[in-house]
Homo-oligomer: A and B are copies of this chain.
Amino acid sequence: MDPTDPRRHVVETADRLFYARGVQAVGMDELRQASGVPLKRLYALFPSKEEIVLAVLARRHALWEEGVRERVDRAGTPRARLLAVYDHLADWFAEDSFRGCGFINAFGELGAVSPRVAEAARAHKRSFQEYVAGLVEAAGGPRELGPQLCLLAEGAQTTAAIAGTPEAAAQARRAAEVLVRAAMPSGDPDEPAQSTREA
């Protein structure tokens, strides 16, 4: 029940419910029941449901950044770091609870109605694009490679979500390999010119 940090407990519970079924499909009363936090305290912790949604998205953003960064940092060469992103996606897609990118879902559901949700999604995606751009730069790749790799990652997320199968991650990775190799064909000391797949 995590009574030490009720705010965090509420956000985690809300995330689970919102992500699984959509924000509008989950009422405050269900959140109360699932979290064990009375309505009065919910509204003492958060002034409105929208604020809970934003807190959920903020947590999701932090977890995503942490997860990607960790995966990338485990990879060796700058080129392998570029592709590690897709391995992270593969793990994610394989989770039972996977139902697409929470930001894309929230944007589709609420983006037109809630400017703050729309902005949260925008900021999340922008942040990822900048991160990938940094990876590309560190690998000595051309500027246009970053957005292209991001498109593959985005497409994999929606494809895996709607199809309900995880193979989009591997497809995206292979496509990314091609793009990377085409953009940085040189005999870098980086790579053995073979597949960069780990283990």
Q: How many residues of A contact B (CB 8 A)?
A: 51
Q: Is A148 an interface residue (CB 8 A)?
A: yes
User: Which residues 90-123 of A sit at the B interface, judged by CB distance below 8 A?
Assistant: 99-101, 103-113, 118, 121-122
A30 to B191, CA, bound (A): 59
The verdict on A186 contacting chain B, using a C-beta distance below 8 Å, is: no
CB within 8 Å of B: which A157-186 residues: 157-159, 161-164, 168, 171-172, 174-175, 178-179, 181-183
Q: Which residues of A pack against B, CB within 8 Å?
A: 20-22, 24-25, 99-101, 103-113, 118, 121-122, 125-126, 144, 147-148, 150-159, 161-164, 168, 171-172, 174-175, 178-179, 181-183
Across the interface, which residues of B come within 8 angstroms of A154, CB to CB? 154-156, 158-159
- Assess the A162–B121 pair: CB atoms within 8 A: yes
Chosen A-B contacts, 21 in total, with CB atoms closer than 8 Å, are A21-B112, A22-B109, A22-B112, A25-B112, A25-B113, A99-B111, A105-B108, A111-B162, A121-B162, A122-B163, A125-B159, A147-B171, A148-B152, A148-B171, A148-B175, A151-B152, A154-B154, A155-B155, A175-B179, A181-B182, A182-B182
